[in-house]
């Protein structure tokens, strides 16, 4: 096994973000890499990048085929594009939906902005908003889970 | 210099660009489809962004997705690589409009050279030699004979409205010309409803020779000599070498000067390649590629110049790091394009790479994004590795290539390695005695 | 089973990072390695590498090795050196032994010549010559089975 | 030229020699112990012979077995590689007595340079600079002071009968000399029963610099410049580079001319290396290695000369393929020795290599006999791979090395790669500011 090591600057950066944002915890996961730092309690999940060498070990062995990650949960609404999430129609306005809301099929759940175009993300079915996994102005990749409606 | 470059490509070329960036201290952003989540360029990049599902149209050709990825990652510049969006003028323009630097030539140069007819006209006006022929349609047999004598036999009679070989006849000498004209006219009339024909010099055994150009935004243009890419099957290059066994130093200097003078006048910036047919000591322009080429490593091996680094430098506004006088040609280099396909049937062979062992040692370079456990997706080009071998002479290079191909082992999928092993044992190849039609015949002769 | 061990320097580094950043907890995971350190709960838990990697298949492409792969049969007499086998004391003479012969322990079975030196190969035990696997003047490697005596 | 060469070695160097042979059209015979039946050199050789059980003494050091293998395989020549029998004069003589060619120098040259005292005397007589000191034992303090002033402080007082650091004292200046003499004499008396001591110049911060020599049997001798091998831990080199950051072109030329003149007078044949300590612009001969060196690839990368090919050529009686004027030095090269050992504890880490992925791309060479699924035996040296990186400048080389080390992945065993990654990030290393004691301090500073 290659030496297991941590990216100290990443830890410092996340610590700085905790301080700056007043959050209690940041957990960060990409494929087989995950980092979590806490300063108290509560949860927020972000997804982005990590250091290159930390990734190399994943090249190891067996080759799990190109699965993007774990299968998304039932009722997951995935981002159809790369872009930036907006949870409300304009800054300061109330969000389109909150956890626990009942939504109708086709109702706008949030917006993904790409190339200055606001793309409304409609509810694929009627149901209850179980989880919202993104926050306002967060970048998302293609296929990221935005929220869970069941 | 850039802080962060987004690489809008995949496979070995994405890795090639990543390496150049890392060696310049530039951070990299990989973009990828869901089929490439485990790809080497994604694993090694500083950051990665998933931009779409497997089909290229929705991922690697998806301009808004790539630009969005550049925005969220905070990239300064975008390198388009080879293929995909690398010769898409609209993409180049969009990249610049969104405030990123496009690592490549201007959209105008891409557009002009992307149009075959306009490119030939441009070449002519830049004093680049093109295939001689009649200026437009030939009115009568007398004029045809005059033009044919002027350009020299054999000549090709071609339907002005034509394509696909219809209405195309070779006249070997003046004796055949009248008949060739009437046959071509008849075929042209029958196929296209238009019997206008024109004449062009017929090249019976040309080589495909291309000149590598580098230009900056300060008016400096250099050439890195030629590559011989005559070994093609269905217009796919299989093996390239530099220098060409068919060129001597004065021919190299002459065509290099023609090319650099033309590009200086053209106001070109970045890496580019002028492709020529070459026969009997004469060059005939075919087209210009306004991007990096798959076979660029052979030029790197004989000149010691990192072409991708120069591309990045000039895109950032820096001058070329060297002048023409600093370019020296040392030894010989050959590249084998290893494809995931059967060496016999040429059918693609995607799938799980169970074993991967690349050759090493003196004079051996491998550019590949493969690794044991990687699954070659079926959605993309079949090029999986480039084996580039250099030596102080062509003979040394050939011997080294032979031993490197002996060592190369890719398990789980079929590859073109067996074909390369056969090819380099062929006496014609060993003698450097091949033209653009040779490989098709060689492959067919197997059966 | 890989040895279970902890990377003390990694733990120390993370402890230092906790101190420096004022965090309460750092959790870090890469492929099958995970480490979590906390402060305040006064616990340190480090879990590293578990799942054994699938063994990559051996390189199959190159020349197959002349490996002494299978175990030699019972009663096999192996060549103790590289050399050339002679089955009889001199050219034209009858062989030391034939298949079916009863031999006494220490009896010469054949000769292996190496560096102009004739090395008699004695029977390691009394028994019957079941098989002779070499012929006169044949080169043999170290460990080749010469004959089987049982 | 030879038809068939037996390679009396294992691991990466056996593969290195195999590659040179194959590129010369020479067939190869691998010899191996039972522990190496699956080794790469065995897999790739044209023929292989098992010569004994795992312990080296019974296999790779077993002269009769190797000669028998050469006989039964019908080899023309034997290449001893590095280590094992490569500096064994008796073996060299036996090889020749049995009618094979020994690819190396004459047994007489091996014998002479194998004796440290005789080697220094020979060097002195060949006008190779050695560490200055008293000619033999010092009789009294007055003579000591005279000699010390002559060679310059600091000086080392050493027991004539000594060893292992006993009876060895440094005198920084004339003030310390008398006390150093009396302490050294006392220690020498106590330890060896003999209080004779002698003086030698003390080098406080030398670099280890070695000159690569090639000589044929026709009186031609050339040098390939120097290698800086100062980065050592317990006398094991970890990383070597060429050119040395500490030498300029005129120093290179001067020491090269000294070395070639000496070797010409010496009548040497084959590849050889003169090792020096280098401090304050002066060279001091330590010893000569009458064989190939592990770090030979860095010289190959900056000169383009295949050292093993030249060894084989001159052993076959051919002249060197080039003269000193043909030797040019281009760019910079660094070799990292990758060992199967912990980067922290330096304990060996043999075992199954579950994954092996070597870096590729421009300027990257890997000499390694590893492959995924190979089991590193515990019986031999821990060197498992050499990563050699070249670039047009030292800085380019360093940047490239950094990215190549990022890409290198060996799974299942511990390797020195993490140490190399740390090492090349050290400011002293980046500045080229290190001597033979630097690495020990660097490694110790980790804790």
pLDDT higher for B127 or C36? B127
Question: In D, which residues are within 8 Å of B11 by CB distance?
Answer: none
The 3-state secondary structure of chain D reads CCCEEEECCCHHHHHHHHHHHHHCCCEEEEEEEHHHCCCHHHHHCCEEEEEECCCHHHCCCCHHHHHHHHHHHCCCEEECCCCCCCCCHHHHHHHHHCCCEECCCCHHHHHHHHCHHHHHHHHHHCCCCECCECCCCCCCHHHHHHHHHHHCCCEEEEEEEEECCEEEEEECCHHHHHHHHHHHHHHHHHHHCCCCEEEEECCCCCEEEEEEEEECCCCCEEEEEEEEEEEEECCEEEEEEECCCCCCHHHHHHHHHHHHHHHHHHCCCEEEEEEEEEECCEEEEEEEECCCCCCHHHHHHHHCCCHHHHHHHHHCCCCCCCCHHHCCCCCEEEEEEEECECCCCCCECCEECCEEECCCCCCEEEEECCCCCCEECCCCCCEEEEEEEEECCHHHHHHHHHHHHHHCEEECCCCCHHHHHHHCCCHHHHCCCCCCCHHHHHHHHCC
As a whole number of angstroms, the distance between CA B88 and CA B60 comes to 12
CATH number of C76-149: 2.40.50.100
Question: What's the rounded mean pLDDT across residues C112-123?
Answer: 91
Confidence of residue C145 (pLDDT cuts 50, 70, 90): very high
pLDDT band at B23 (very low <50, low <70, confident <90, very high): very high
Question: Between D253 and C45, whose confidence is greater?
Answer: D253
**How does DSSP classify residue A86?**
E
The answer, yes or no, to whether residue A55 has pLDDT greater than 90, is no
Nearest CA-CA distance, residue D25 and chain B, Å: 8
Using one digit for the tens of pLDDT, what is the confidence trace for B35-68?
Answer: 999 999 999 999 999 999 999 999 999 999 999 9
The pLDDT tens digits of the residues spanning B414-441 come to 999 999 999 999 999 999 999 999 999 9
- Residue among C10, C25, C55 whose CB faces A6 most closely: C10
If one compares C69 and B246, the residue with the highest pLDDT of the two is B246
Task: Check pLDDT > 90 for residue D409.
Answer: yes
The residue that leads in pLDDT, A30 or D433, is D433
> What pLDDT does residue A31 have?
61
Name chain C contacts of B355, Cβ cutoff 8 Å. 56-57, 59-61
- Pick from A5, A52, A60: CB nearest D406: A52
Whether the CB of C41 is below 8 Å from some CB of chain B: the reply is: no
Name the active-site residue from B291, B313, B337, B400: B291
Which of B367-371, D106-110, D173-177 bottoms out in mean pLDDT, i.e. has the lowest?
D173-177
What's the rounded mean pLDDT across residues D113-142?
Answer: 90
Q: Report the distance separating Cα D11 and Cα D6, nearest Å.
A: 14
Mean pLDDT (whole number) for C25-48: 57
pLDDT digits (tens, 9 = 90+) for C50-94: 222 233 333 444 433 334 446 788 899 999 999 999 999 988 899
Residue C4 has pLDDT above 80, yes or no: no
Q: In this complex, which of B47, B48, B50 lies closest to A143 when CB atoms are compared?
A: B50
Chain C residues in contact with B373 by the CB 8 A cut-off are 56
- Chain B residue numbers with beta carbons less than 8 Å from the beta carbon of A64 are 38
d(CA B373, CA A52): 19
**Chain B: nearest CA to C69, how far in angstroms?**
21
**Annotated catalytic residue: which of D207, D227, D291, D313?**
D291
D25 touches chain B (CB under 8 A): yes
Q: B214 φ, ψ to 5°?
A: -135, 135
Binning chain A into helix, strand and coil, the percentages to the nearest 5 are 15, 35, 55
pLDDT for residue C35? 75
> In Å, what is the CA distance from B30 to each residue of B40, B292, C139?
10, 18, 58
Residues of D in contact with A5 (CB under 8 A): 418
Tell me how many residue pairs between chain A and chain B have CB atoms under 8 A apart.
Answer: 90
- Structure confidence at residue B94 (pLDDT): 97
* Strand duo A25-30 + A45-46: pairing: parallel
A2: pLDDT confidence band, cut at 50, 70 and 90?
very low
Please state whether the peptide bond connecting residue D400 to the residue before it is cis, i.e. omega within 30 degrees of 0.
Answer: no
**Contact between chains at D22 and B406 (C-beta distance less than 8 A):** yes
Residues of chain B neighbouring C59 (CB-CB closer than 8 A)? 355, 357, 409, 411
pLDDT of D62 over the 80 cut: yes
Non-local CB neighbours of D192 within 8 Å, separated by 6+ positions? D159, D161, D162, D166, D167
A51 touches chain D (CB under 8 A): no
What is the side-by-side order of every strand in the sheet holding A139-140? A117-122, A108-114, A83-86, A139-140
- Return the pLDDT at C57: 34
Distance from CA of D430 to the nearest CA of A (A): 21
pLDDT of C59 reads 44
Q: Give per-residue pLDDT as tens, D369-407.
A: 999 999 999 999 999 999 999 999 999 999 999 999 999
Q: Once rounded to an integer, what is the mean pLDDT over residues D149-159?
A: 91
Q: What's the gap in Å between the CA of A58 and the closest CA on chain D?
A: 10
- pLDDT at A30 (0 to 100): 66
Mean pLDDT across A30-47: 53
Q: Compute the distance between CA of residue D364 and CA of residue B20 in angstroms, rounded to an integer.
A: 12
The whole-chain average pLDDT of chain C stands at: 75
Mean pLDDT of D120-144: 91
pLDDT, position C32? 64
Domain annotation for chain B: domains and CATH numbers: 4-87 (3.40.50.20), 132-201 (3.30.1490.20), 207-445 (3.30.470.20)
Chain-centroid distance, C-alpha D85:
15
What is the pTM (predicted TM-score) of this model? 0.85
**Would you place residue C42 in the very low, low, confident or very high pLDDT band (cuts 50, 70, 90)?**
very low
Of the pLDDT bands very low, low, confident and very high (cuts 50, 70, 90), residue D284 is very high
B291 labelled catalytic = yes
Contact B375 A48 (CB under 8 A): no
Residue B22 contacts D, CB cutoff 8 Å: yes
pLDDT at D167: 78
pLDDT digits (tens, 9 = 90+) for D77-121: 999 999 999 999 999 999 999 999 999 999 999 999 998 889 999
Domain ranges of chain A: 8-67, 76-149
Instruction: Provide, rounded to the nearest whole percent, the portion of chain C with pLDDT above 90.
Output: 44
Q: Which of the other chains make 3 or more beta carbon contacts under 8 angstroms with chain C?
A: A, B, D
- Say whether pLDDT at D196 is over 60: yes
Q: Comparing C-alpha atoms, which of C122, C124, C127, C125 is closest to residue C111?
A: C122
Q: Give residue A8's pLDDT.
A: 73
Residues of chain C positioned with their CB less than 8 A from the CB of A11: 14, 17, 21, 23, 26, 28
Convert the pLDDT of each residue in B179-193 to its tens digit: 999 999 998 888 888
At residue C124 the predicted structure's pLDDT band, cuts being 50, 70 and 90, is: very high
Binary contact (B406, D355; C-beta < 8 A) = no
Which member of A66, A139, A141 has the closest CB to residue B38? A66
Closest alpha carbon within chain C to B357: C59
């Amino acid at each position: 096994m290659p030496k297991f090591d941590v990216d100290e600057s990443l830890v410092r950066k996340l610590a700085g973000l905790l301080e700056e944002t007043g959050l209690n915890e940041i957990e960060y996961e990409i494929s087989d890499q995950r980092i979590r730092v806490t300063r108290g309690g509560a949860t927020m999940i972000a997804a982005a990048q990590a250091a290159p060498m930390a990734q190399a070990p994943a090249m190891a062995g067996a080759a799990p085929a190109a699965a993007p990650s774990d299968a998304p949960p039932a009722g997951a609404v995935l981002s159809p594009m790369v872009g930036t999430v907006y949870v409300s129609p304009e800054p300061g306005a109330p969000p389109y939906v909150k956890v626990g809301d009942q939504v109708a099929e086709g109702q706008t759940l949030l917006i993904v902005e790409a190339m200055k175009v606001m793309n409304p993300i409609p509810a694929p079915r009627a149901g209850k908003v179980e989880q919202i996994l993104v926050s306002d102005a967060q970048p998302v990749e293609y296929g990221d889970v935005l929220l869970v409606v069941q | 210099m850039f802080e962060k470059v987004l690489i809008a490509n995949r496979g070995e070329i994405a890795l090639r660009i990543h390496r150049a960036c890392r060696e310049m201290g530039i951070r990299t952003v990989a973009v990828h489809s869901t089929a490439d989540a485990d790809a080497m360029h994604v694993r090694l990049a500083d950051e990665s962004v998933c931009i779409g599902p497997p089909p290229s149209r929705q991922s690697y050709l998806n301009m808004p997705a790539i630009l969005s990825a550049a925005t969220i990652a905070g990239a300064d510049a975008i390198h388009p690589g080879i293929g995909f969006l690398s010769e898409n003028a609209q993409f180049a323009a969009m990249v610049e409009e969104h405030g990123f630097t496009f690592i490549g030539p201007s959209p105008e140069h891409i557009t002009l050279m992307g149009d075959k007819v306009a490119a030939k006209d441009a070449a002519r006006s830049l004093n680049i030699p093109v295939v001689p022929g009649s200026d437009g349609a030939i009115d009568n047999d007398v004029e045809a004979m005059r033009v044919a004598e002027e350009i020299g036999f054999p000549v090709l009679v071609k339907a002005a409205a034509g394509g696909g070989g219809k209405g195309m006849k070779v006249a070997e000498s003046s004796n055949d010309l009248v008949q060739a004209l009437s046959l071509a006219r008849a075929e042209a009339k029958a196929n296209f409803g238009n019997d206008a024909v024109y004449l062009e010099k017929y090249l019976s055994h040309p080589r495909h020779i291309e000149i590598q150009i580098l230009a900056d935004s300060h008016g400096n243009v250099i050439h890195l000599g030629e590559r011989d890419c005559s070994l093609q099957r269905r217009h796919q290059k299989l093996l390239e070498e530099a220098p060409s066994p068919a060129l001597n130093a004065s021919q190299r200097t002459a065509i290099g000067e023609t090319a650099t003078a033309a590009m200086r006048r053209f106001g070109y910036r970045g890496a580019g390649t002028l492709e020529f047919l070459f026969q009997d000591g004469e060059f005939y322009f075919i087209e210009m590629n306004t991007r990096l080429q798959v076979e660029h490593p052979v030029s790197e091996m004989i000149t010691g110049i990192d072409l991708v680094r120069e591309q990045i430098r000039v895109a950032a506004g820096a001058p070329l790091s060297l002048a023409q006088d600093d370019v020296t040609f040392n030894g010989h280099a050959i590249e084998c394009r290893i494809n995931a396909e059967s060496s016999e049937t040429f059918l693609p062979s995607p799938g799980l790479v169970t074993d991967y062992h690349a050759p090493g040692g003196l004079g051996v370079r491998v550019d590949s994004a493969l690794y044991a456990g990687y699954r070659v997706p079926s959605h993309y080009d079949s090029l999986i590795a480039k084996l580039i071998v250099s030596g102080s002479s062509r003979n040394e290079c050939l011997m080294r290539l032979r031993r490197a191909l002996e060592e190369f082992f890719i398990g789980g999928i079929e590859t073109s390695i067996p074909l390369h092993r056969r090819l380099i044992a062929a006496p014609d190849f060993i003698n450097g005695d091949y033209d653009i039609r040779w490989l098709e015949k060689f492959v067919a002769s197997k059966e």
